[in-house]
A and B are shown apart, each in its own frame.
Chain A
Amino acid sequence: MIQVRGLSKEFAGRDGTDTGIVALDSLDFEVRDNEFLTVIGPSGCGKTTLLRIVAGLIPYDRGEVSINGTPVTGPGPDRAVVFQNFALMPWADVLTNVAFGLEIRDMPKAECEATAMRLVKLVGLEGFERRLPKELSGGMQQRVGLARALAVNPRILLMDEPFGSLDEQTRRLLQEQLLRIWERERKTVIFITHSMEEAVLLGDRVMLMTPRPGRVKEIINVPLKRPRGHDTEKSATFVEIKEYLWQNLRSMQVA
Chain B
Amino acid sequence: MAASKVGRGLLSGWGLRIWVFLLFALFWQVSATYMKNMLIPTFTETIGGFIQLVFVSGRIWEPLYISNQALVLGYFLSVVVAIPLGLAAGRARLIDRILNPYIGVFLAIPVAPLIPMVIIALGLGLASRVAIVFLFAFIFITVNTRAGVRNVDPWLIEMAKSFGANERQIWRRIVIPGAVPAIFVGLRTGLGRAISGMVIVELLLVASGLGRLILEFAGRLQADFVFATVLVVIVEALLLLSAMRLIEQRVAPWAHDISVE
Contact = CB atoms under 8 A, between A and B. Distances in A.
A87 B156 contact: yes
A79 B178 CA distance: 25
Nearest to B155: A87
A206 to B, nearest CB: 24
Given A87-B155, A89-B177, A91-B177, A132 B162 contact: no
Contacts of B163: 75, 80, 100-101, 104-105, 152
B209 to A, nearest CB: 39
B5 to A, nearest CB: 38
A91 B252 CA distance: 7
A3 B18 CA distance: 70
B158 A87 contact: yes
Contact of B254 (A83, A90, A152): A90
Contacts of A79: 162
B113 interface: no
A81 B165 CA distance: 13
A83 B161 contact: no
Interface string B129-168: 0000000000000000000000001011011111111000
Interface of chain B: mostly helix, strand, loop or mixed: helix
Interface centre among B155, B159, B160, B252, by most A CB within 10 Å? B159
A21 interface: no
A165 B165 CA distance: 26
A80 B161 CA distance: 10
Contacts of A132: 253-254
B169 A104 contact: yes
A85 B156 CA distance: 10
A55 interface: yes
Contacts of A101: 163-164
A150 B180 CA distance: 29
B174 interface: yes
Nearest to B251: A91
Contacts of A56: 162
A130 interface: no
A76 B165 CA distance: 10
State which size class the interface on A falls in.
20 to 34
B176 to A, nearest CB: 10
Given A91-B254, A132-B253, A132-B254, A104 B165 contact: yes
Interface in A56-81: 56-57, 75-77, 79-81
Given A87-B155, A87-B156, A104-B169, A81 B162 contact: yes
Contacts of B180: 91
A144 to B, nearest CB: 12
Contacts of A90: 254
Nearest to A55: B162
Interface string B163-193: 1110001000110011010000000000000
Contacts of A133: 254
B140 to A, nearest CB: 23
Interface in B78-129: none
Contacts of B253: 132
A83 B160 contact: no
A57 B158 contact: yes
Given A90-B254, A91-B254, A132-B253, A83 B155 contact: yes
A32 interface: no
A89 to B, nearest CB: 6
A90 B173 CA distance: 12
10 contacts: A57-B161, A77-B164, A79-B162, A81-B159, A87-B155, A87-B159, A100-B173, A103-B173, A133-B254, A152-B163
Nearest 4 pairs of A and B residues by beta carbon: A87-B159, A101-B163, A81-B162, A87-B155
Interface of A: 55-57, 75-77, 79-81, 83, 85, 87, 89-92, 100-101, 103-105, 132-134, 152
